[in-house]
Amino acid sequence: MTGGPISVAGVVVEPGERRDLAPLASESYTGDRTTLPMAVINGIEDGPRVFVTAAVHGDELNGIETCRRLLDAVDPLGVAGSLVVVPIVNVLGVQFGSRYLPDRRDLNRSFPGSHSGSMAARIARLLTEEVITGSDAGIDLHTAANHRTNVPQVRIAEDPRALPLATTFGAPFVMRAKLRPGSLRAVALEQDVPVLTYEGGQPLRFDADAIDVALRGIQRVLARMEMIDHAPEPAAAEPMVLDASRWLRAARGGVLELHVEPGDRVQAGQPLWTTSSPMGGAERASIDAEEEGYVIGATTLPLVQPGQAVLHVALPGEHLPSEDDPTEEEDEDDPDMTEGT
């Protein structure tokens, strides 16, 4: 069935048309207009509405390149339904290579936002009202936080619609992760919109593998939703679907030597890293894996201090943390940040 025109941020996009919009989000310190550039692709045929967002954290750049390649690959005449792509959500953070807004607010804790709130709240409000609301699904592209890297993985809420989309995406891991209040994914779910949060690579870098996995994943999801005809072959291996993970932390400070790589499967008793004194001499400490798991994230720093998060390990099977488990309060995005500040 032929689709009709759609309207985003007051702009009408006809079937078979792509329009690039830049609705006003707020004003900068200098009084300049702060806009939220986005591409709206309205297919000829009727179908679902899907959004793709990137750089909600302004130092997480892989998704920007993923969006650029996606937009070059999608022909509006070959789409059923509509696709809204926002390559840079945190337009101010990207200017400075910063995860946060200039006032240190985390945009991904600022949803659904408001008309009269902080800059983060205003950008979040615009994205919520014009892009998230009314969509059938969304894909939000991230990388690990500062000085860390993530193995390509999709994080989803406990939502039966999200799991098949996440496995179709084809990243090596699917994590059913707790929803963070004020995150894009949490607010979208409140509006009944399932969102896949993709994590891959490290900040301030283009990671070719993480970008490729993301682009192929988005195309597979669009094909599964019958929005495009052609998609890459399914991933070679079924993703591992995991419900629990925890950060393993250094007990001693010093020079870090990792004995495993991101993506590795680790067995109970396997040495994971060694911390040595900068003065040389004997090994200070060796941390062993306590249980079986998969390394889904790791520090990229060569030195560690006590308590620093070194490896993010996903745990298969029943590992739901108890209520008084301190790891429950960890922010998996940024485990060295104190939550709520």
Interacting residues toward Zn ion by CB under 5 A: 57, 60, 142
Q: What's the min distance (Å) between Cβ of 84 and Zn ion?
A: 19
Query: Is 154 within 8 Å of 296 (Cβ atoms)?
Result: no
Whose Cβ is closer to Zn ion: residue 63's or residue 194's? 63
Whose Cβ is closer to Zn ion: residue 65's or residue 264's? 65
Whose Cβ is closer to Zn ion: residue 60's or residue 264's? 60
The CA dihedral of 51, 296, 338, 274, to the nearest 10 degrees, is -160
For 298-335, the DSSP string reads EE--SEE-TT-EEEEEEE-SS-PPPTT-GGGG--SS-T
Whose Cβ is closer to Zn ion: residue 142's or residue 249's? 142
Q: What's the min distance (Å) between Cβ of 142 and Zn ion?
A: 3
Whose Cβ is closer to Zn ion: residue 125's or residue 142's? 142
Task: State which residue has the least CB distance to Zn ion.
Answer: 142
Q: What's the min distance (Å) between Cβ of 102 and Zn ion?
A: 17
Q: Residue 110, Cα to own-chain centre: how many angstroms?
A: 15
For 170-238, the DSSP string reads --SEEEE-PPPTT-HHHHHHHTT--EEEEEEE-TTS--HHHHHHHHHHHHHHHHHTTS-S--PPPPSSP
Q: What's the min distance (Å) between Cβ of 68 and Zn ion?
A: 18
Tell me the CA distances in angstroms from 230 to 45, 73, 85, 93, one per residue in order. 15, 11, 19, 35
Q: What's the min distance (Å) between Cβ of 333 and Zn ion?
A: 5
